[in-house]
């Protein structure tokens, strides 16, 4: 027991006796239980129950019906398209995210905070608006519409539009994970590497990148989950051509609207499973490499 | 680890590249894109299969019909924004007028190019109520009773909703000695009973049937029949109002697109088949009123009740006028609808 604490309690308490500090939790036991119960009930009701409902609905007509949902060619093509879009958008986001966070964390330049807020923009802009912007730019009536049309290029209502919209909404995920960590790590290791004669590229490859690898993986996971699950932005630019421009979330809506409830929930369960797997890996990473993931986890 | 990581990224990119490239030749393959409105999903699923078979038999070519469904106004907007539709099969003429005006890809006289105002099938607006009709809904007037909740999609985005709106208007006008002001007041009152506006007809049907919201659904006749099939006849009843509207969902070739895509012949054959025996039979089977009932299966045709139907041309001066007056910016819908 520290002397400070004893002093604070005043002279009435004996100095030789161990001083009983008031518990940092001042609420009564009952209040504590009530608060925890409310929190748990809230989570169960708003998160767990819907999740269970998705799987329950998907399996309502049995396992065979569940798997039969995945024989529909339109559904298969939606799954394929989603993988394709993520396979393009996520690597590009890795490149952009690394470049941006490297520049922001390791260098000082004018307009840095502006760049930071730009990276955060997709978090604050509604995805639907993002989709609309691309329609305004690349739609037939848009700024580049005429030029694209005369060169027979289709962006909106085709895969490039879906990729663009996905990149937009997932843009912050990688950069946001890397920036705080890179900032905390500082530049001393890079300086050491450079002073030992390594080139800039070598330094990046052998020093900077390994230092952030788990944070990068973490960001990529989040980025991928969002890329595959995005609805609003891709809905605007998709055109909803069956078997051609529908991603998994759009296909779920279509199936639901066609009274195909089992199939709708079966396909939705794929997305939900993706979310659960992401969550599991994410927790694993946090548990195992917490200190290397983000500066925020270190303390 | 670095090298491996870089390799993995390279591999992912290499994997993705042929996919993007591969998408283009797939688009060049003979395909026909039909951009349609919301409740025609089942109709065109069946019809497209029939057409693909027919086309194969006639030309030996394998052709794939692609469809997109959504609220009619929204779909028209997508075509205007560049959705590469070879044919449009929308809920109302003004949406196709809109495409013609904004893009010039469809000539202005498009509606005269095919029989029956370019509508191979027609439909009408009916009420779908819960079994036993607990709220006793018989006609339009009952929709504004105190505790009645009405489900209809948004007239701004949905074609069906615009037919709903005008049918209600027509009834109120006929019951108020032709007074448009009173009709407007009635429709305004009606929309106070609408708790949720979905963007398309199918969304409203699921709201009513699956989510069990509301007491009455203003629905396409074909949607109402389809709900029986999907949810069971023991759940709903159809109520025919004393007056409804003859809904003519028109079809058109998007000339600008078919010439670019080289699909004119297929597009023409597609629309012609809709008017032919096969198309009329499939339409009637899917609860659309065939424009040539003699070609369809009499069993199917028997299901359609004779109704007093007003028409858009005679009673509302055509779609151009009705669209501007009621659904344009500042039109009657904007005036009466205040979300609560």
Distance CA A254, CA B193 (A): 28
> B303 vs A53, B226, B290, CA distance in Å?
38, 13, 12
pLDDT of B264 reads 95
Tokens 């394929």, residue?
Answer: A80
At residue B42, φ and ψ (nearest 5 deg) are -70, -40
Tokens 């470049």, residue?
Answer: A99
What DSSP state is assigned to residue A44? I
Q: Distance between the two ends of chain A, CA-based, in angstroms? A: 24
Answer whether A91 sits within 8 Å of B102, measured CB to CB.
no
Which tens digits make up the pLDDT trace of B35-84? 999 899 999 999 999 999 999 999 999 999 999 999 898 999 999 999 99
Q: Residue B29: pLDDT band by 50, 70, 90 thresholds?
A: low
3-state secondary structure B215-282: CEEEEEHHHHHHHHHHHCCCCEEEECCCCEEEECCCEEECHHHHHHHCCHHHHHHHHHHHHCHHHHHH
Does B28 lie at the interface with A, CB-CB under 8 angstroms?
no
Nearest of B93, B51, B94, B86 to residue B68 by alpha carbon: B86
pLDDT of B232 reads 84
Answer whether B66 sits within 8 Å of A142, measured CB to CB.
no
CB-nearest partner of B66 from A135, A244, A257:
A244
Could you give the dihedral angle defined by the CA atoms of residues B201, A81, A266 and B74, in that order, rounded to the nearest 10 degrees? -10
CB-nearest partner of A94 from B9, B80, B83:
B9
Regions of chain A short of the pLDDT cut 50: 1-14, 296-299
Q: Which residue of A has its CA nearest to B37?
A: A240
Q: Which residue of B has its CA nearest to A253?
A: B203
Least confident of B17-26, B167-176, B190-199: B17-26
pLDDT of B25 reads 39
Chain A residues in contact with B37 by the CB 8 A cut-off are none
3-state secondary structure chain B: CHHHHHHHHHHHHHHHHHHHHHHHHHHHCCEEEEEEEHHHHHHHHHHHHHHHHHHHHHHCCCCEEEEEEECHHHHHHHHHCCCCCCEEECCCHHHHHHHHHHHCCCCCCHHHCCHHHHCCEEEEEEEEEECCCCCCCCCHHHHHCCCCCEECCCCCCCHHHHHHHHHHHHHHHHCCCCCHHHHHHHHHHHHCCCCCCCCCHHHHHHHHHCCCCCCEEEEEHHHHHHHHHHHCCCCEEEECCCCEEEECCCEEECHHHHHHHCCHHHHHHHHHHHHCHHHHHHHHHCCCEECCHHHCCHHHHCCCCCCCEECHHHHHCHHHHHHHHHHCCCCHHHHHCCCC
Answer whether B82 sits within 8 Å of A157, measured CB to CB.
yes
Distance CA A249, CA A234 (A): 9
Which tens digits make up the pLDDT trace of A121-147? 998 999 999 999 999 999 988 899 889
pLDDT of B22 reads 42
Which residues neighbour A141 within 8 Å (Cβ) at sequence distance 6 or greater?
B80, B81, B82, B102, B103
What DSSP state is assigned to residue A2? -
Answer whether B5 sits within 8 Å of A240, measured CB to CB.
no
Is the pLDDT higher at A259 or at B243? B243
Span B237-264, average pLDDT:
95
pLDDT of A285 reads 85
Task: Name residue B253's beta-bridge partners.
Answer: B87
Distance CA B49, CA A228 (A): 31
- What pTM does this model have? 0.81
The distance from CA B266 to its chain's CA centroid, rounded to whole angstroms, is 22
Give the number of beta-carbon pairs within 8 Å between A and B. Answer: 88
Strand-strand pairing, B236-239 and B121-130: antiparallel
How does the average pLDDT of chain B come out, rounded?
A: 90
Prediction ipTM score: 0.77
Least confident of A37-41, B24-28, B254-258, B314-318: B24-28
Q: SS3 of A27, please?
A: coil
| C-beta of residue A169 within 8 angstroms of C-beta of residue A226 | yes
Does B33 lie at the interface with A, CB-CB under 8 angstroms?
yes
| C-beta of residue B158 within 8 angstroms of C-beta of residue B249 | no
Distance CA A130, CA A122 (A): 8
pLDDT of B1 reads 45
Answer whether A91 sits within 8 Å of B12, measured CB to CB.
yes
pLDDT of B8 reads 57
Strand-strand pairing, B216-220 and B289-290: unpaired
pLDDT of B340 reads 53
CA count, 13 A, side-chain hemisphere, A128 = 0
């Amino acid at each position: 027991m520290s002397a400070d604490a004893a002093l604070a309690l005043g002279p009435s308490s004996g100095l030789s006796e161990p001083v009983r500090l008031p518990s940092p939790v001042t609420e009564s036991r009952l209040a504590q239980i009530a608060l925890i119960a409310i929190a748990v009930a809230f989570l169960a009701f708003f998160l767990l129950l819907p999740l269970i409902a998705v799987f329950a609905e998907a399996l309502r007509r049995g396992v065979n019906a569940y798997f039969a949902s995945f024989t529909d060619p339109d559904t298969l093509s939606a799954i394929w398209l989603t993988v394709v879009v993520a396979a393009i958008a996520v690597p590009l986001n890795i490149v952009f995210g690394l470049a941006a966070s490297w520049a922001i964390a390791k260098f000082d330049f004018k307009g840095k905070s502006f760049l930071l807020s730009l990276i955060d923009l997709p978090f604050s802009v509604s995805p639907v608006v993002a989709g609309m912007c691309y329609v305004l730019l690349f739609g037939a009536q848009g700024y580049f519409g005429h030029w694209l049309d005369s060169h027979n290029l289709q962006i909106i209502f085709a895969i490039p539009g879906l990729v663009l919209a996905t990149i937009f909404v997932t843009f912050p995920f990688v950069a946001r994970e890397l920036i705080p960590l890179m900032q905390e790590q500082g530049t001393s290791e890079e300086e050491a590497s450079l002073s030992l004669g390594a080139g800039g590229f070598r330094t990046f490859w052998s020093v900077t990148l390994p230092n952030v690898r788990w944070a990068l993986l973490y960001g990529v996971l989040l980025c991928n989950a969002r890329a595959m699950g995005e609805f609003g932005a891709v809905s605007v630019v998709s055109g909803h051509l069956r078997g051609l421009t529908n991603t998994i979330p759009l296909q779920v809506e279509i199936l639901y609207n066609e009274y195909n409830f089992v199939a709708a929930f079966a396909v939705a369960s794929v997305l939900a499973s993706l979310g659960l797997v992401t969550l599991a890996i994410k927790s694993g990473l946090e548990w195992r490499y917490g200190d290397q993931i983000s500066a925020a986890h270190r303390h | 680890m670095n090298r491996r990581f870089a390799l993995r990224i390279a591999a992912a990119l290499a994997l993705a590249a042929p996919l993007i490239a591969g998408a283009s030749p797939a688009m060049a393959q003979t395909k026909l894109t039909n951009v349609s409105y919301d409740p025609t999903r089942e109709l065109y699923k069946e019809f497209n299969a029939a057409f693909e078979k027919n086309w194969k038999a006639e030309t030996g070519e394998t052709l794939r019909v692609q469809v997109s469904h959504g609220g009619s106004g929204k779909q028209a907007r997508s075509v205007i924004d560049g959705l590469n539709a070879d044919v449009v099969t929308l809920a109302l003429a003004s949406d196709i007028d809109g495409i013609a005006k904004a893009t010039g890809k469809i000539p202005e006289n498009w509606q005269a190019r095919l029989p029956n105002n370019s509508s191979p099938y027609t439909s009408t607006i009916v009420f779908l109520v819960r079994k036993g009709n607990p709220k006793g809904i018989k006609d339009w007037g009952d929709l504004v009773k105190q505790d009645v909740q009405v489900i209809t999609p948004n007239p701004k985005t949905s074609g069906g909703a615009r037919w709903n709106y005008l049918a209600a208007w027509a009834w109120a006008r006929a019951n108020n000695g032709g007074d448009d002001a009173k009709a407007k007041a009635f429709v305004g009152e009606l929309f106070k009973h609408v708790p949720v506006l979905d963007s398309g007809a199918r969304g409203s049907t699921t709201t009513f049937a699956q989510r069990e919201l509301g007491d009455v659904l203003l629905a396409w006749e074909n949607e109402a029949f389809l709900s029986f099939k999907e949810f069971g006849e023991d759940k709903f009843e159809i109520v025919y109002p004393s007056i409804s509207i003859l809904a003519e969902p028109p079809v058109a070739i998007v000339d600008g697109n078919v010439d670019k895509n080289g699909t004119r012949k297929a597009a023409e054959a597609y629309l012609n088949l809709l008017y032919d025996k096969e198309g009329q039979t499939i339409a009637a089977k899917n609860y659309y009123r065939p424009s040539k009932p003699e070609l369809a299966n009499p069993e199917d045709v028997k299901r359609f009740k004779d109704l007093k139907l007003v028409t858009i041309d005679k009673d509302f001066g055509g779609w151009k006028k009705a669209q501007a007056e009621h659904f344009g910016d500042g039109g009657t819908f904007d005036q009466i609808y205040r979300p609560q």
